[in-house]
Every structure is written in C-alpha cells, then in structure tokens.
Chains A and B, each alone.
Chain A
Amino acid sequence: MTARFSVGIDLGTTNSVIASTELDCDQPTLTLLPIPQVVAAGQIESRNSLPSFYYIAAENEAAAYQLPWQDRPHSFVVGELARQRGADAPHRVISAAKSWLGHHGVNRRDAILPWQSPNDVEKVSPLSATEAYLHHLVCAWNNSHPDAPLAEQKVVLTVPASFDPAARNLTREAALSAGLPADFVLLEEPQAAVYRWLAEKHDSWRDQFNEGDTLLIVDVGGGTTDLTLIRLVGRDGSVELERQAVGNHLLVGGDNMDLALAHLVANQLAGEGHSLDPWQNVALWHSCRAAKEQLLAGEGPETITISVLGRGSRLIGGTVSTHLSRDATADLLINGFFPHCKATEKPERYVASGFQDLGLPYESDPAITKHIAAFLASWRGQSSEPLVPSHLLLNGGVFRSSLLQDAVSDTLTQWAANTSGNPPHRLGASAHDLDHAVAQGAAYYGWSKHRGGLRIRGGTARSYYIGIETAGLAIPGAPRPLRALCVAPRGMEEGTAAEIPSQEVGLMVGRPAKFRFFSSTVRPHDVPGDRLERWSPDELVESDSIQTTLTSQVASDDPFLPVRFQSRVTELGMFELYCHSTRSDEQWQLEFNAREAAKERQS
C-alpha cells in the first residue's frame, strides 16, 4: 500500500507533537493531530500535544487509566495525567526521558527511572519510556486514521541536532518497536524549524538570502537548547541551504526559566509568611509561565498579581497573592539566561566538588547567549574576527516573550557592531507556531522529500573517530596510549560510504571486539584515515563504545583476522560502521553499546 500522508513527529523532552499533510498535493496543509490521553482518572481528552511524562500507576489505579485502544489496563500512563502526577507523586513520575536517552553516563537499557525513586516503585529504562511515548503517538494516529495506519506512511521523526550516533540508534530502536515504519527518517530539530519557516515562504524564501549568508537557529525547548548554523551556498546558479555546524547538547530550556521565576515568587511569598505545599508549587510554576509571557510581551503590563489558590476545598480563604514586576522578571530571566555578553565569552565551567551525583548533566551555566558565543567561536576556526550570522531564527515556546527574542538578537547585533558587520536579520515566526513548528516542519520535509523538492544539505554534523590502543610495552598501572582514527569526516553526505585507509587491524575471531568511539564538532579538516595522537577533552567527545563479534565462515588456522573499516551514512540519516576482512568478502557491522558505557566510564 502506498503512503497517503507525510507525518512529522516531534518527540520532545517535555512535549511531543504530531503534524501531517497529504503527500499528493501541490500546497501542503500542515495539520496537528489531536492526541487522546488520560487527563484524570476515568477521563480521556484530546490535546494537541502529549506531555512526555510517564506515570507508574499503583495497582488499584490502572483500570481508571485505560485507553480506547488498549484491550486491558496498563501499569503506566503517559501524557497529561502523568505530568500532573509529577506534583503529588514525584517518585512515580519519569520526566526528561529523552535527555537520559542522550546521556551516556548511564546504561540506557537498564531500568533506572524514575531516577532515585524508592525501591518499591517499579522502574523502567530510558529506552522503554521513549518507546511508550512513541507507541502512544502511533496508537493515537491509527485511532483517527483507521484507513491509513502510521506504519504505511512517510514518517519523519525529529531528534536534537546534538544527539550522537548512539543516541540516534537508541531513538531508532525505540521508534521501530513502537510501530514506526522501517523506512522512517530522522531529522534534526533545528532543521525542522527551518523547514517550517520555508513552508510558510514557499518559493519566495530565496529573496531573503544571498550566497555566503549564514543562518543561526536557536531552538530553546522545554528542557534543552539546540544550536545549528546553516550557510547559504551557491549551487547550479541558485542558493542552497547547507548545514555547517551543530552545538553540543545543552540541558537548559524554558522549564528552567519558569522554575527560576517560580522560585523567586515562592521566596517572595515565604517572606510574607506563606509557605506552599508541592501541589501549590506546581500551580505556581504554571502561573509563572503565563506571567512570564504576559510581562515580557512587547506591550506587557508593569506588574501583575500572582495568586496561588488555597489547598483543600477552602479556596478563597487559603489563597495567597503577591506582585511580580516586569523589571524583576526581566532582570532574573534576561540576566540569568540571555545576558548581554562579549562574543569572546565562554560559559562558566562547573567546578567539580569531590562528590558528584550521577544524574543528568545539567548545564552549570544557564546563560544561553554565552553558549551561543562559544558555539560561534568554535566554528570561527582560525579567523580572529568572531562570526556573526547574517540571519537568525528563534524557535521554541519561550520566544513567545518578545523581550527574550530581543535579548538574543540585541546581543548578536552588539557583536556585529563590534566587528562593523550588519545586525542579523531575524526571520519571522508566527507566535502560535513556536510550540508546534518542529513537528510541522518535519511533516513539510517529508512532503518536500517525497516530491524531490528543497533539502538542507550538509551531511553529518561531526567527524567520527574510533580509539585504537597502540601496541607497545605495557606499563603496570598506566593505560596503553590511545590513538584516534578518523572514520568519517564532518559533512559526510547521506547515502555515501567511506573506506578508511589505515593499517590492517587484527581482530580475534569469535570474541567481541570493542572500540572506544569519539566525535568532534570542531575538527572540520580531518579525513578518514587521519590519526590523532593527542587531543583536548573539548575537541573529541567520547560516546558509547562500539563492538562486534567476528564469526567467520572462512576456515583459517589464524585466530586473528585482519580487517579494515568502512563507514556509511544511510539514506535515513543513520551512521553505521563496518569492518571487513581483507582476505574475503565477509563484513561485520559494529554496534553501539549503550549497555557497557557506564561501566567503562567508571573503570
């Protein structure tokens, strides 16, 4: 059966969205799918997004949370109810599973979430939680499209640009077991935001660009911030978009800002003698989000009153209120998250204390503008002038506050003025689309790809390396020196393969062969076969190890088999690494090993 729809799925850290368009049309109409979900015991409603929260139900509750497509109650609930339960039963609620999926300090297949919850609560792995969200989305789609099941559609799933190959592989694995079609495509979130903008402009988008222009995308989600730089290159007499660089995975987002504001207000209330219970704190968090949007809008009020309703049925008597001014809010959020800073500034590094929790590596410096400065500086390369992009696209719900949009673009304008450059031109995004742009852009990309239309080129955002221990005398207590062999250059295009010119490596037949794996966003000139003897921790970032077990059919007395490496980037955007025998046609794929990573890191 042929696909009728292009379906874009934004699997967000805090919210997931599905958008779609018919494939067979000249002008795509991007529609959001209403997602049925449990909002209270015994109550199902459809919402435009599915909060990415997972609630582990107590035994007696399960029946009240059954969904139309479930033939028996499940032991967990995802969506709005799970998000709300985060207030009164936090140890049963999983949040930010996606950040855990991209965090290789832990074993992503181990049942470790909710993190640090008591032992009597059942736990699940980041992989299973991700699969549960996706499975819910698949069921929601199939429920409203019985004639066009998702497994038969063109599906585009978005991932953070900063996800490394191991995290992408895990996402893919979760998606396939959740019921996505085998040929679904991964797309980076900031690129999806650009596609959303392109969908609005149709063919007129080229009018806004010249060859050599650069476009910076700042995508601030609920829990993460993703940076991408796109360059406009001339190709066959026309300008094309080519992705140049992506930033590191930054665990700071809109939720941090709302929580910071809630913290300020809670302190203010505490000063007035009111203490809040956890449930009221969540209510305060939500009112602070709304207050932030009101106060930091262009023509917003000077102050607004924030009231937290009383607990219990006595509502009026228990209500406490306080005032929040625009100045205090702007001061906290702009100075905290979008401070004016120099183009040469770098985020402050966390000074590790003796004891460190193994939890998510939240950013020690929440200043997004400093992260932007560091990102642009790392891309600048040898040039002494800081690179200031000619165009800027801001995405994510926090940018509904126009003062926050201005804070980013004013900072960039300042950098441009210091180098006598032009201020960046801000590409307009319709305000109500900021939360749904990624899913809509993904659906538009699927449509455009199907029709052979516009595409952002650029290939892989990083160069990739495997670690090979050098042969030599073993020194007791010291690890063998490690060399990094480049196996894929930055910018390796989809659907291409690269043979790695190197000396043969002898692998033992029948035994797992394991390699450490690294990536770099800042070494654009390395080519496959290059060897690095030493590097700084900023240059090469270690990911999950990769491994394979050679099972040779070719009879040989030699337990060692000489192999060479080959890397591929599939049409679906997946990075794959193979080793093949130099004596026969046999080859073996190297798999990312999410299970062993944590153990190795500690050893």
Chain B
Amino acid sequence: MSLGTAFRAFFAALGNKQTSEAFLKILNGEPVDNQNILIAPSIKSTSKVDVGSPSFVEPARSEALTLLAMLQREARFVDLVQEPLDQFSDAQVGAAARPCLIQCRQTLQRVFDLIPLTEQAEGSTVAVPLNASALRYQWLGNGEQSSTGRLVHPGWLANQSELGKWTGSPSDAKVIAPIQIQS
C-alpha cells in the first residue's frame, strides 16, 4: 500500500512544480493547500488477459510494483535512479540517461497511451467549462476564475492502463528485478 502511494506520488510530483512543492511541505510537516496536489486518478486496468482457467488465482501484487518492475526490465529505470550521481560527469549521466529515457517513454506510451489533456497550444487562450473538475483544470495565480484563461500546461491523460498480468507467487510479489547469475 505505502509503496503504491509513494509511486503515485512520485509520478504526480515528477515534472509538476506545484505538486512537488506541496509534497515537500508535507514531508517537512508544513500545512498545505489540498487543491495544489494533483495525483493522477488510479485507473482500473482493462487488461485483455482473461483469467481463463480456474487454476489461476488473482495476482497478489499491486500494479505499482508491476510497473516499476517493467520500467527496470525494459529501461533499467531503478538502476539509473539508484546510482549515486556524485562521481559522474554530466556527460556520463547524459549518455546513460538518454537510452534509458527513450525506453521509459516507449514503455509508458505502450502501457498508458499518454496524450495531452488538451490539444491546444501552450500560451493560447482556452475556454474552461463551468464547474470544471479540479482534477482536470487547475487555476493558477490569484485572479478570478472565469470562462477562459491562458494555457500554461496542457496536462496529460492516460488513454489506457495495460499492465498485463503478474502470475507469480505471493512470496515473490516484492521482487522488482531478479538476481542474475552466470552459470
């Protein structure tokens, strides 16, 4: 549970200054304005793999772990973020991060089919529906909320959530990457 929350929080904070600042406040024990935390709503998986035979039990691990294992397997994501950066130059970090990020993007794209929440260009004036959901539209600045505003960030939407099916046993549920041994 806590790891799943941490993971969602991680993605919510990633690339969103406001949310990450809000998290920082929480972590520092400061009071925060709830409105500022935008956490992606959890999406019910519409995995196409049916549990066809009765011998199959419902997988015993959270989808957050499955996603983390997938990013490690396909993009070495955990290896990258777990490595201490101090001993390396920016060029070295960049060389390793580039293929890693390209693969992260391909993986996330395949799993979530990410698209901007609005097609309109940043900086353009957009119409905001009356009673718009605070999860879809976030007003910035101190001005009055009105029917139009200037687009700062077009948002992101996951068109799907296709994480596949984990079929391991409960005792292996927390394994993100196996130990590799040469025979």
Contact = CB atoms under 8 A, between A and B. Distances in A.
Interface residues of A, number: 31
Contact of A321 (B56, B80, B95): B95
B21 to A, nearest CB: 28
Contact of A315 (B76, B164, B172, B178): B76
Nearest to A89: B183
Interface of A: 34, 36, 39-46, 64, 66, 68-71, 143-144, 287, 290, 305, 307, 309-310, 313-317, 319, 321
A66 B167 contact: yes
Interface of B: 47-53, 55-56, 66, 69-70, 73, 76, 79-80, 82-83, 85, 87-88, 92-93, 95-100, 102, 162-168, 172, 178
Given A42-B172, A46-B49, A316-B93, 18 more contacts: A42-B167, A44-B165, A46-B162, A68-B49, A68-B50, A68-B51, A68-B52, A69-B53, A290-B102, A307-B96, A309-B76, A309-B79, A315-B76, A315-B83, A316-B92, A316-B97, A317-B87, A321-B95
B99 A307 contact: yes
A315 B50 CA distance: 36
A71 B56 CA distance: 9
Quick one: which of B82, B99, B100, B166 has the most chain A CB within 10 A? B99
A316 B96 contact: yes
Contacts of A40: 69, 73
Contacts, number: 100
Contacts of A71: 53, 55
Given A36-B49, A315-B79, A64 B164 contact: no
A307 B166 CA distance: 31
Given A305-B98, A315-B80, A315-B83, A44 B164 contact: yes
B164 A45 contact: yes
B55 to A, nearest CB: 6
Going nearest first, the 6 A-B pairs with the smallest beta carbon separation are: A45-B164, A42-B168, A319-B96, A315-B79, A316-B96, A68-B52
Contacts of B102: 290
Contacts of A69: 52-53
B178 A41 contact: yes
Contacts of A290: 102
Given A69-B53, A71-B55, A316-B83, A305 B95 contact: yes
Given A64-B168, A68-B165, A44 B49 contact: yes
Given A309-B100, A315-B96, A319-B92, A43 B51 contact: no
A36 B92 CA distance: 38
A68 B80 CA distance: 33
B56 A43 contact: no
Contacts of A66: 167
Quick one: which of B51, B52, B82, B92 has the most chain A CB within 10 A? B52
15 contacts: A40-B69, A40-B73, A41-B168, A42-B167, A43-B66, A43-B167, A45-B164, A64-B168, A71-B55, A290-B102, A313-B79, A315-B83, A317-B88, A317-B92, A319-B92
